[in-house]
Amino acid sequence: MKQQDTQFQSEPIKGYVYLRVIACLAIVILHTAYGAAFQFEEVISSFQHTGAMVVTNSMMWAVPCFVMVTGALLLPPEKDISYDKLFKKYIFRVARALVICGLAFRLFDMVMDGEPMTFMGFLYGFAEIFTGQGWSHLWYLYLLIGLYLLLPFYKKVTANSSDREMIYLLAVGGIFTALLPMLEAFHVSCAFYIHVATIYPFYLLMGYALRKGIVKVTKWQALGLIVLSLAAIIGMTVYRWQNGSEAFEALLGYNSLFVAALAVGVFSLVSSVRLTLPKALERFIKSIDYCSFGIYLIHMVFVRLVLRYWRFNPFTHGGVIAFAGIVIGVFIVSFVLVWLGKKGILLLKALRFTSKTDGN
């Protein structure tokens, strides 16, 4: 039994590393495409705008996959998480990142927008953090804090539920948080709902269910989900922007059945990958995974610099090649800065430990 538990803990991790790295790159692609479409909406053609939104919506699987990896890693019963560890390691880490980034981004806005550098103007960043009026991509941190706060109860659900009960819970969650909300696209209101009904606990539990084998998705089924979901998302995105059908946004968000199916397909396919790569490449991929959270936090600084402040329009200055250059450049610069920052922190800790040891 212990051998099986060890295998269950270690075997899928390599696939999750690949998944986080790919999802992190997808996030940069998503924000670059959306940012360009938003920034230059008035000067680009309808075809160009629609194309950018197709790319944006096709990358919507990334955040759900991050949440599913979290569920797969933290919800198994053998993963012991005390309240002390929960608050000090998980919640504090995210809350600290939220405060630091919220204030840093506020300072960045003040400098770049030419606002008066006043203390009260800087303190306004705290109000933005509390109200969620800061940079939009920080919403993911609020999501993580909410999931972590209820993690002990999600773990009780997974630890005490049979496979059949887990499938029932996922089915109910999927219907009420992913399927019924789509009726809004057709101006149909549904009076039925469940309490605490958001899509994100569904993703958290689905990640666990896929890892445990409660929900089984073969590679071919995963590939089918990806192809069919992408086709539906692309078709609906084109229809939405070519016909001005705002109601179709209900079919394209994180609570869309098609986005959920796409996320499940990507998660299942990539997490099952078992590659034997050169050691140098494997270390490089693990380094990106190690920095993925930081990359997510700071990449928007460079996206904003390029698109908003440098006013570089990739639609008219290179098209696809320009977009690829921005994405790769932003990703690499973000990775290098986060990696250097982490190494610097480790070095400071080592020096502090050495000084304490010498003092004794």
| pLDDT (tens digit per residue) in 71-126 | 999 999 888 899 999 999 999 999 999 999 999 999 898 888 888 888 887 788 88
Give the mean pLDDT of 283-309. 94
pTM comes to 0.89
Closest C-alpha among 178, 311, 327 to residue 256: 178
What is the C-alpha to C-alpha distance for residues 267 and 270, in angstroms, rounded to an integer?
6
pLDDT for res 186: 78
What is the C-alpha to C-alpha distance for residues 6 and 13, in angstroms, rounded to an integer?
12
Q: Average model confidence (pLDDT) for the chain?
A: 88
Q: For the chain, which residues make up each domain, given as ranges?
A: 60-274
**Residue 358 reports pLDDT greater than 60:** no
**Secondary structure of 118-171 in HEC code, one letter for each residue:** CHHHHHHHHHHHHHCCCCHHHHHHHHHHHHHHCHHHHHHHHHHCCHHHHHHHHH
What is the C-alpha to C-alpha distance for residues 24 and 62, in angstroms, rounded to an integer?
7
Q: Which two tokens stand for residue 34?
A: 């959306």
Three-state DSSP class for residue 278: coil
Cα–chain-centroid distance for residue 325? 22
Taking only the tens place, the pLDDT of each residue in 9-56 is 444 478 899 999 999 999 999 999 999 999 999 999 999 999 999 999
